[in-house]
């Protein structure tokens, strides 16, 4: 049997696809796995923020087209890039073991975010990160930072920014952990839903593909990410909103923290709860409802104007 994996062309996306390819080959000796690198609209629009361009779904659509027209059987995504709801006919076959979900502070000069002088320019691609940075350090200036990981680091190195904030997972996966000056705690920067987890997507009718991929699923990561994504889905399912959600196992239960923020960090609604491990979506819905009670609906209404 031959499996083709659709992937973006960036170095990190290729690492992710190759990682999944190696795991499948280790489990299934009779399966031949190939990569199908594709350019996505999200990669092409480098001068526009994701929120204005149409959201993180721009990284997914070309890969899903390849699944739909038979050019590929699988697609590998960063779970934080996946919309809360998949199109009809597509299935999330597995969520793999999670890397470090925290955000990383990267700078050539400064060791920590708290040590940046007032007026320093910080780069990030994320409204979620921007809001949390400005809540704690309103004297900093946060500017958009687009491009793949290597491009973002190059912009920092040439002096466009005093510091940038990236996902720790991507740096670690590409052997760039030495670039991390400090790691932001979960309390300092709540991650995006699904951050540091990989998702494997296929057509829902491909039972043979689902069966091959099923052993790659990590039960803890799957439950945590499902809870986080349920918050996003309950609040409208928009990848562009400044929303953080992070779940972790606590004994036989899940603890879920989430927030919704205005882009300037002046208004942030936070909520947390714990729930039964087998019912992550219910936990996510409960936390979303608590966020609404604490002002999330008003914040989201303001963002939509």
Domain spans of the chain, in order of start? 2-97+197-217, 103-183, 233-304
Is there a common fold for 2-97+197-217 and 233-304? Answer: no
Burial 271-301 (b: 16+ CB within 10 A, else e): bebbbebebbbebbbbbbbbbbebebeebbe
- Residues with catalytic roles: 81
pLDDT beyond 70 at 54: no
Most confident of 216-220, 232-236, 262-266: 216-220
Both tokens of residue 46?
């480098």
Q: How far apart are CA 54 and CA 58, in angstroms?
A: 7
The span from the CA of 82 to the CA of 58, in Å, is 9
Give the mean pLDDT of the chain. 93
Distance CA 26, CA 18 (A): 12
Q: Tell me, what DSSP letter sits at residue 104?
A: E
Please give the pLDDT value at position 168: 98
- Cα gap 52→49, rounded to integer Å: 5
**Portion of the chain with pLDDT greater than 70, in percent:** 93
- At 187 the pLDDT is 97
Which is the CATH superfamily of the domain at 103-183?
Answer: Periplasmic binding protein-like II (3.40.190.10)
Q: What is the pLDDT of residues 77-135, one digit of tens each?
A: 999 999 888 999 999 999 999 999 999 999 999 999 999 999 999 999 899 999 999 99
Contact residues for 281 (Cβ-Cβ < 8 A; gap 6+): 226, 227, 230
**Spatial distance between the Cα atoms of 87 and 237, rounded to a whole number of angstroms:** 13
CATH class of 2-97+197-217: alpha beta
Determine the average pLDDT of the residues in 189-217: 97
Looking at residue 221, its pLDDT comes to 97
* Confidence at residue 41, expressed as pLDDT on a 0 to 100 scale: 60
Assign domain 233-304 one CATH number from 3.30.590.20, 3.30.160.40, 1.10.10.60, 3.20.20.150: 3.30.160.40
Average pLDDT over residues 222-235: 96
What angle (nearest 5°) sits at the alpha carbon of residue 234, between those of residues 232 and 235?
65
């Amino acid at each position: 049997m031959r499996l083709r994996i659709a992937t973006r062309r960036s170095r990190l996306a290729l690492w992710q696809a190759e990682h999944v390819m190696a795991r499948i080959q280790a489990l299934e000796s009779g399966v031949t796995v190939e990569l199908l690198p594709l350019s996505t609209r999200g990669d092409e629009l480098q001068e526009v923020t994701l929120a204005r361009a149409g959201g993180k779904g721009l990284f997914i659509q070309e890969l899903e087209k390849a699944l739909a027209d038979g050019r590929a059987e699988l697609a590998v995504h960063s779970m934080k890039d996946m919309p809360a709801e998949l199109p009809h006919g597509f299935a999330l076959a597995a969520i793999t073991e999670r890397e470090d979900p925290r955000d990383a502070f990267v700078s050539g000069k400064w060791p920590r975010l708290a040590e940046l002088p007032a007026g320093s320019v910080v780069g990030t691609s994320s409204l979620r990160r921007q809001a949390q940075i400005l809540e704690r350090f309103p004297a900093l200036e946060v500017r958009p930072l687009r491009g793949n990981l290597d491009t973002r680091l190059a912009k920092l190195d040439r002096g466009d920014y005093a510091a940038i904030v990236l996902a720790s997972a991507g740096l670690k996966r590409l052997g760039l952990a030495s670039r991390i000056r400090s790691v932001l705690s979960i309390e300092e920067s709540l991650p995006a839903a699904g951050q540091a987890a990989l998702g494997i997507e296929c057509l829902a009718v491909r039972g043979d593909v689902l069966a091959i991929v099923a052993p790659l699923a990590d039960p803890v990561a799957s439950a945590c990410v499902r809870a986080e994504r349920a918050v996003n889905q309950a609040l409208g399912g928009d990848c562009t909103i400044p929303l953080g959600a992070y779940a972790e196992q606590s004994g036989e239960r899940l603890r879920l923290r989430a927030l919704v923020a205005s882009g300037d960090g002046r208004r942030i609604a936070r909520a947390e709860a714990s729930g039964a491990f087998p019912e992550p979506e219910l936990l996510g819905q409960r936390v979303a409802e608590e966020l609404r009670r604490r002002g999330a609906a008003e914040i989201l209404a303001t963002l939509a104007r």
